[in-house]
Structure 1
Amino acid sequence: MLHYTVVFLVIALVAALLGFTGIAAGASEIAKILFFIFLILFVISLIMGLMRRK
């Protein structure tokens, strides 16, 4: 999941350097969505890891 987040982030950055067009806006939206999904999964796995220790 992190790999896809990094890939779409790089695509969004390259598109931003070339100018915000329809493709750039789409790529940045995908990067944002994947980042938040990764963040939510990270928090869930962190909580589950803490619950296992108890």
Structure 2
Amino acid sequence: MAEKKSYMPQSTAGLIRYFESEKELIKLKPEHVVAIALAFSFIVIIARFLI
């Protein structure tokens, strides 16, 4: 039996299909991104005082 296809409005059909087929290589939580940014900022500030 054939699969039922869902039809979408033309304005969003391409975007939804694009995001469904995209695979994420690295999965990070927002908390991890903030922690990395803070750590990098802290390292830069410390380096400015030492140099």
TM-score for both structures, normalised by structure 1: 0.44
Q: Comparing both structures, which one devotes a greater share of its residues to helix? A: 1
Higher relative contact order (CA closer than 8 Å, sequence separation 6+): 1
TM-score for both structures, normalised by structure 2: 0.46
